[in-house]
Amino acid sequence: MNGCQSHADLLGGYVLGALDPAEETEMRRHLEECEECRREYDALAGIPALLDRIVPADVPPPEPSPALEEAVLDRVARERGRSAGPRLAWPPRLALAGAAAAILVAVVVALLLRSPGTDIAYAWGELRGVPGAEGSFTVQQVPAGTQVDLSANGLRRGAPYEVWCVRTDGRWVSGGTFLPRRDGEAEATLTAAVNPGDYHVVVVTRRKRGERGPEVLRGKLRY
């Protein structure tokens, strides 16, 4: 992403706080002089806060295997050979941390730049309700609002059901109807005109003409 030849491989580690004090000081001074790195840093500065939301704070990061460590260090060595200009020498552990941080930043940014409605769920939940019926769902943002991918079983065959997103203000927004198969199982993809943060519960009801039918399944969003 960054075309800077002297400090591009330090930027990922700087954003994630993975550099030692000397490298951090060097990178801070470089950002004052390099407009290219400064633009890149501004674009990536929100990554740590995003990772805090994705990765629970009480879950320690996995220890890399020797094979992974060797592969990353080998990649760092090759990239160093292509770079021009004097650089501070990285101890092996810091080189691995910096390279891993840069890879992690690249992966997260790639996910963020993917178009809405690809296959990235921002929340999911389990559905529970009437005896014998259960299910699960994932939700993702699409141009029309929210796409709900639902899987359920224990439903009554031939009976139409309706999916609802319940807004935080108490309003129910319909995502459409579906029919289970003869075995009472269903796989459905429906769209409701709500955005992430507007709602916190997904409900499945029996379809009833002219009014909301009886509730069958309900599940809270988990982020």
Tens place of pLDDT per residue across the chain (223 aa): 456 777 877 887 888 787 888 888 998 899 998 888 888 888 777 776 666 655 455 555 555 545 545 555 565 555 555 544 444 444 444 444 445 555 554 445 444 434 444 457 789 999 999 999 999 999 998 888 999 999 999 999 889 999 999 999 999 999 999 999 989 999 999 999 998 889 999 999 999 887 889 999 999 998 8
In angstroms, rounded to a whole number, what is the distance separating the alpha carbons of residues 203 and 128? 9
The correct CATH number of 123-220 out of 2.60.40.200, 1.10.10.370, 2.60.120.10, 3.40.50.2300 is 2.60.40.200
CATH 2.60.40.200 in the chain, residue ranges:
123-220
Entry pTM: 0.49
Q: Which residues of 71-98 are buried (b: 16+ CB within 10 A; e: fewer)?
A: ebbeebeeeeeeeeeeeeebeeebbbbb
For residue 62, what is the DSSP state? P
Q: Which helix (H) or strand (E) holds 126?
A: strand 123-129
